[in-house]
Amino acid sequence: MTKHMIEAGKPATKLKSEALAVLLERGLVHQSTDLEALDKRLNDGPITAYAGFDATAASLHVGHLMPLMTLRWLQRLGHRPIVVLGGGTSQVGDPSFRNDARPLLEERQIAANMATIRRSVERLVDMDGPEGALLVDNAEWLNEFRFLEFLRDYGSQFTVNRMMTFDSVKSRLDAQMPLTILEFCYMMLQAVDFLELAKRHDCVLQVGGSDQWGNIVNGVELGRRDGRKLHGLTVPLLTTANGSKMGKTAVGAVWLHPEHLSPFGFWQFWRNTADADVGKFLRLFTELPMREVERLSELQGAELNEAKKILATQVTAIVHGPEEARMALEQGDALFSGDAELTEPTHTMALSILAEGVGLLELVVASGFAASNGEARRLVEGGGVRLNNRVVDDARRRISSGDLGANDRLSLSVGKRRKALIGFE
């Protein structure tokens, strides 16, 4: 199946559907299995599209915002989204572009993770009314299969030769890392998800990250063998202007759920966006009109900081709600003016990471104060970083449990106005 690679922000001139034109303009399209056919299908009338998320953690992170914003735009433009939570596939674990197997989770932990993820999803897509978004669990059908029945019905639909060609498999084998049969079968399960959704809900489009391309293609081809025309669309890998992967750090992810990262910590992450990324993130993660996005993207100097505040407030409103965004903006204004101190943690991290110590540079990056360890090192060596209100100029410094203050918290600041209060649980 041919990849149709898309250059972000440059929609094709002959598009017929408003939905695809908007997604391209916002930079939310990277690959499509058949761009022209998808454009025609979207133009013919409302469709149902889905994105799936395994419940391998208690919260989604900012990397998941790309497919979720795609579903959100599709819904705004008259189409129906389905969010699939992987109660079934989470028992296996997606091996895509990993160097090792995911730890296997118990069903109780998966159910708890799904409950918290649901609360975040409900903010991002409208689930009210007969045409509202659907939230489904793929355990509904995957748990019903008997092993021999599954092999009989689907085993003959996939060839090892074909599956070996996908980058997610090749990367593990090229690195001479083990790939279990359990993981290898994951792409079969995701393909079955697509076919089941097509049968149950007339779903014709799967949206996913670029690392899901092989899994999505398998679903499209399985649908073709069943006489269905299905479509796949991937969003770009979320990277910053310097090429680093955004949203995950050495000590934790930028979580969407407020119990794992406070709304203010989330707001502050976006407020600290690098200058070169402001325009890109305004396109991807806000619903501001493109004319306003372009105006804000052209600002320079101190005015660009106002654009960053708008970016942070808009994204926080989408993820946490307008009231939390308003309070985060007010708290940010007070902190940046030097008129306030933090009283609640802006970030929460696992206490276990302090057992062997965590690098100060990693902590600065994880708090959103630097885009890389190199930038963090320059801040530290320049005397601009304070730990518990004391200047720390040793870039090799490691943080341990002995550095924690009251209530297992750690105060970190860069300059006079950028502050974080990190809690450890």
pTM greater than 0.85: no
Domains of the chain, residue spans: 4-235, 241-262+344-425, 263-340
d(CA 409, CA 411): 7
SS3 386: strand
In whole angstroms, give the CA distance from residue 188 to residue 60. 23
Low-confidence residues of the chain, pLDDT below 50? 2, 7-9, 11-12, 97-100, 250
Query: Is the C-alpha dihedral spanning 386, 387, 390, 395 positive or negative?
Result: negative
Euclidean distance between CA atoms 276 and 40, whole angstroms: 35
Tens of pLDDT, residue by residue over 21-66, are 999 999 999 999 999 999 999 999 999 999 999 998 889 999 999 9
Helix/strand/coil percent split, the chain, to 5:
50, 15, 35
d(CA 308, CA 283): 13
Task: Look at residue 93 in the predicted model and tell me its pLDDT.
Answer: 61
CATH class, range 263-340: mainly alpha
pLDDT value, residue 250: 45
Q: What pLDDT, on a 0 to 100 scale, did the predictor assign at position 13?
A: 52
The pLDDT assigned to 158 comes to 84
Under CATH, what is the fold of the domain 4-235?
Rossmann fold (3.40.50)
CA distance 309 to 329: 7
The superfamily (CATH) of domain 241-262+344-425 is: RNA-binding S4 domain (3.10.290.10)
Q: How far is Cα 10 from Cα 25, in angstroms, rounded to an integer?
A: 6
